[in-house]
Amino acid sequence: MKWIELNTQDTLETIAASNSYAIIFKHSTRCPVSSMAKRTFEFESSLIPEETPVYLVDLIKYREISNQIADKWKVRHESPQVLLIKGDDCVYNESHNEIEVAKIVVKMAN
């Protein structure tokens, strides 16, 4: 799977300016639950349409970016957490063991 590192405010603005879907995965490199969720997400990633950008936020390195995501899309911070973004809207978010690529793909189809 090809992750796009999300580590700047400019990238957040690019995501918000798009009318296409984008996925943001917030990951703590110090948390075993987050590592397990990330591995499962990667295993299921073939379900995600190829044209959909998938961003990874390292919460240890870029906590401020994570806070900006929470503020921008009005979603309470969790870790691990996945968000499905379409422009200025977070159309779906899930955390911990509830993260499933299939749920994201269903949301994208509706």
pLDDT in tens, 11-20: 999 999 999 9
How would residue 39 be classed by pLDDT, with cut points 50, 70 and 90? very high
Task: List, in order, residues 6 or more apart from 54 with CB less than 8 Å away.
Answer: 1, 2, 3, 4, 22, 23, 25, 45, 48
Provide the domain limits for residue 58.
4-109
Residue 110 has pLDDT above 90, yes or no: no
Number of domains in the chain: 1
Domain CATH for 81: 3.40.30.10
Q: How many residues are there in the chain?
A: 110
Q: What is the mean pLDDT of residues 60-69?
A: 95
